[in-house]
């Protein structure tokens, strides 16, 4: 079965292509990309035409940081519901973080994730294995076993690795298997039992605070350890200006470090917490306008390589409680694209720059042959209507959870057709 995606503006950040082109998909792969009309001779009677006039045609989006909650917390999300949310958000690949119950620190959990993802048959799910057994920060997990089972990285996300020696060994051991180490950079003693960013706002609201230094000191430690070991380090959800500057400096020194920022950290400031919406309680916390400006600068100058959702579903049981008791996390798969496009609208990123942070850059960090539109590659393609305006309604989300602070926001730009392996996995 073949498909011709016709008349769209094709944006492929990996090659720099930004032009009106047609794309021919045969079976699971991209057969050809060419100027309008140039592929018509390849049309067969059975070719499905997908009209893309007025649309952007881009590589399927890749999320480096998704919590799918299966196994163990299926009341919040399952691999099936999370995959539906991802596809609706324009994603064709997501990385599932290991803080499930049980933790993904061995091949049986990794196998289960692959089985469930295959049953869903929507987006690609790339499991991230744990750095340490049970994410307890004491003993390393078996990276060879995780790699063989298909894990693409290791991380103790949700938990900081407090033991510097263990982190050093993780960076050394992971190199043997070509696995990046994803750091949830947080000094737990400094963060203590804080619930929001330390600032005048936390003083005013009377909420316990998490200083940005809790992140900065660990970003410095992990970059130093990457320099010492030569390991590949990726800093998850950068929230502070200090972290951005540290990553910039270590990159300049040639250290193998990359970083991601989330849409909530590049869109919101801690002022938004004034009405105690627990959906705004995330870890790391949403910080000051100065931090926000630094993150935008980091995205613009390439210090921050990727945009990742940190999609963290929680039910009303965890969120419909006092701020102090609410769980950390917000969902993000179904709002990440329009929030990223706001950066284009504001002139902070060009369309190709913005898309690179959701396609070829995450693919490169993981060493995956994805995130590009070249003939011969798997046909993971997202069609975006960049002008469609809509009001975010959490009740329409495919995710099983509703914990988004963006409910009621007017946003612009969304996925309208999504193909993975040439198969339509979402159409609006
Ligand atoms: O806000 C967060 N939620 N931050 C994390 O690091 C973990 C995540 C979760 O799993 O809920
Ligand atoms: Zn995290």
User: Does ligand 1 have an atom closer than 6 angstroms to the CB of 7?
Assistant: no
Per-residue pLDDT of 361-390, as tens digits, reads 999 999 999 999 999 999 999 999 999 999
For residue 158, the ligand 1 atom closest to its alpha carbon is 6
Per-residue pLDDT of 16-53, as tens digits, reads 999 999 999 999 999 999 999 999 999 888 999 999 99
Q: What is the 3-state secondary structure (H, E, C) of 206-220?
A: CCCEECCHHHHHHHH
Per-residue pLDDT of 393-418, as tens digits, reads 999 999 999 999 999 999 999 999 99
Run of H or E residues at 203: helix 200-205
User: Does ligand 1 have an atom closer than 6 angstroms to the CB of 70?
Assistant: no
What would the mean pLDDT of 119-125 be, rounded to a whole number? 99
CB count within 10 Å of CB 189 equals 9
pLDDT beyond 90 at 154 = yes
Look at ligand 1, atom 5, and give the residue with the nearest C-alpha.
Answer: 158
Q: Are 210 and 285 in contact (CB under 8 A)?
A: yes
User: Does ligand 1 have an atom closer than 6 angstroms to the CB of 394?
Assistant: no
DSSP-assigned letter for residue 41: G
For residue 314, the ligand 1 atom closest to its alpha carbon is 11
User: Does ligand 1 have an atom closer than 6 angstroms to the CB of 212?
Assistant: no
What would the mean pLDDT of 251-261 be, rounded to a whole number? 98
For residue 281, the ligand 1 atom closest to its alpha carbon is 1
What would the mean pLDDT of 315-327 be, rounded to a whole number? 98
Share of the chain above pLDDT 70, in %: 100
- Active-site residue identified among 63, 291, 310, 380: 310
CB count within 10 Å of CB 31 equals 18
* Alpha-carbon span 103 to 70, nearest angstrom: 10
pLDDT bin (cut points 50, 70, 90) of residue 423 is very high
Ion ligand 2 residue ranges (Cβ < 5 Å) = 157, 184
User: Does ligand 1 have an atom closer than 6 angstroms to the CB of 9?
Assistant: no
Ligand index nearest the alpha carbon of residue 264: 1
Q: Are 113 and 79 in contact (CB under 8 A)?
A: yes
User: Does ligand 1 have an atom closer than 6 angstroms to the CB of 184?
Assistant: yes
pLDDT beyond 90 at 186 = yes
Q: Are 33 and 41 in contact (CB under 8 A)?
A: no
* Alpha-carbon span 179 to 16, nearest angstrom: 28
For residue 242, what are the CA distances in angstroms to 71, 218, 219?
35, 11, 9
What would the mean pLDDT of 233-253 be, rounded to a whole number? 99
User: Does ligand 1 have an atom closer than 6 angstroms to the CB of 98?
Assistant: no
For residue 327, the ligand 1 atom closest to its alpha carbon is 11
Query: In terms of Cα–Cα distance, which of 157, 193, 185, 130 is closest to 312?
Result: 157
DSSP-assigned letter for residue 21: E
Strands 56-59 and 381-391: antiparallel
Q: What is the 3-state secondary structure (H, E, C) of 314-352?
A: CCHHHHCCCHHHCCCCECCCCCHHHHHHHHHHCCCCCHH
The pLDDT assigned to 192 comes to 97
Query: In terms of Cα–Cα distance, which of 416, 408, 401 is closest to 320?
Result: 401
Q: How far is the CA of 328 from the centre of ligand 1 (A)?
A: 5
* Alpha-carbon span 150 to 108, nearest angstrom: 11
Query: In terms of Cα–Cα distance, which of 150, 157, 139, 156 is closest to 177?
Result: 150
* Alpha-carbon span 36 to 8, nearest angstrom: 9
Average pLDDT over the chain, rounded to whole?
98
Q: By CB neighbour count within 10 A (0-12 exposed, 13-18 middle, 19+ buried), where does 16 fall?
A: exposed
First to last CA, the chain: 21
Residue 234's φ and ψ, nearest 5 degrees, are: -130, 125
pLDDT bin (cut points 50, 70, 90) of residue 118 is very high
The pLDDT assigned to 414 comes to 98
User: Does ligand 1 have an atom closer than 6 angstroms to the CB of 312?
Assistant: yes
Look at ligand 1, atom 4, and give the residue with the nearest C-alpha.
Answer: 283
Ligand index nearest the alpha carbon of residue 282: 1
- Concerning whether 310 is annotated as a catalytic residue, the answer is yes
Q: Are 196 and 172 in contact (CB under 8 A)?
A: no
Query: In terms of Cα–Cα distance, which of 397, 344, 357 is closest to 59?
Result: 357
Q: How far is the CA of 312 from the centre of ligand 1 (A)?
A: 6
User: Does ligand 1 have an atom closer than 6 angstroms to the CB of 67?
Assistant: yes
Per-residue pLDDT of 288-315, as tens digits, reads 999 999 999 999 999 999 999 999 999 9
Q: By CB neighbour count within 10 A (0-12 exposed, 13-18 middle, 19+ buried), where does 69 fall?
A: buried
Look at ligand 1, atom 1, and give the residue with the nearest C-alpha.
Answer: 329
Q: How far is the CA of 283 from the centre of ligand 2 (A)?
A: 6
pTM here is 0.98
Look at ligand 1, atom 7, and give the residue with the nearest C-alpha.
Answer: 158
DSSP-assigned letter for residue 26: E
Contacts of 157 (CB under 8 A, 6+ apart): 65, 97, 98, 99, 128, 182, 184, 236
The pLDDT assigned to 283 comes to 98
Q: How far is the CA of 197 from the centre of ligand 1 (A)?
A: 15
The pLDDT assigned to 1 comes to 84
Contacts of 414 (CB under 8 A, 6+ apart): 90, 337, 338, 384, 385, 388, 390, 428
Q: Are 242 and 226 in contact (CB under 8 A)?
A: no
For residue 97, the ligand 1 atom closest to its alpha carbon is 10
* Alpha-carbon span 42 to 255, nearest angstrom: 47
Give one DSSP letter per residue of 381-416, joined into a string.
EEEEEEEEEEE--GGG-SSS----TTTT-EEEEEEE
């Amino acid at each position: 079965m073949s498909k011709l995606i016709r008349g769209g503006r094709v944006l492929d950040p990996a090659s720099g292509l930004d032009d009106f082109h047609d794309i021919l998909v045969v079976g699971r792969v991209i057969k050809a990309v060419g100027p309008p009309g140039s592929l018509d001779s390849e049309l067969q009677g059975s070719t499905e035409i997908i009209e893309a006039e007025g649309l952007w045609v881009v590589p399927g989006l890749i999320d480096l940081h998704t919590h799918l909650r299966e196994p163990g917390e299926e009341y919040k999300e399952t691999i099936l519901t999370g995959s539906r949310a991802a596809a609706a958000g324009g994603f064709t690949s997501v990385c599932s973080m290991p803080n499930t119950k049980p933790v993904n620190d061995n091949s049986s959990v990794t196998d289960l994730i692959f089985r469930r993802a295959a049953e869903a048959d929507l987006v690609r799910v790339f499991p991230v294995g744990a750095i340490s057994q049970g994410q307890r920060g004491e003993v390393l997990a078996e990276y060879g076993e995780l790699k063989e089972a298909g894990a693409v990285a290791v991380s103790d996300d949700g938990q900081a690795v407090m033991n510097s020696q263990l982190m050093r060994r993780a960076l050394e051991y992971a190199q043997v298997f070509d696995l990046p180490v994803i750091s949830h950079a947080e000094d737990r003693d400094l963060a203590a039992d804080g619930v929001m960013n330390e600032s005048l706002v936390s003083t005013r609201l009377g909420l316990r605070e998490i200083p940005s230094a809790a992140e900065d000191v660990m970003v410095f430690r992990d970059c130093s350890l990457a320099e010492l070991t030569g390991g590949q380090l990726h800093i998850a959800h950068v929230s502070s200006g200090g972290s951005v500057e540290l990553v910039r400096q270590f990159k300049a020194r040639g250290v193998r470090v990359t970083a991601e920022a989330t849409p909530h950290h590049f869109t919101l400031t801690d002022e938004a917490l004034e009405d105690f919406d627990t959906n705004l309680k995330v870890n790391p916390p949403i910080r000051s306008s100065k931090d926000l400006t630094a993150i935008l600068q980091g995205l613009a100058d390439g210090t921050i390589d990727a945009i990742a959702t940190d999609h963290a579903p929680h039910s009303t049981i965890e969120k419909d409680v006092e701020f102090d008791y609410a769980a950390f996390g917000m969902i993000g798969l179904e709002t990440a694209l329009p929030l990223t496009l706001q950066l284009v609208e504001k002139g902070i990123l060009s369309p190709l720059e913005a898309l690179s942070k959701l396609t070829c850059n995450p693919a490169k960090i993981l060493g995956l042959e994805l995130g590009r539109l070249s003939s011969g590659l798997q046909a993971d393609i997202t069609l975006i209507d960049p002008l469609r305006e809509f009001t975010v309604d959490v009740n329409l989300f495919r995710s099983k959870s509703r914990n988004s602070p963006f409910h009621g926001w007017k946003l612009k730009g969304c996925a309208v057709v999504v193909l993975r392996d040439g198969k339509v996995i979402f159409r609006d």
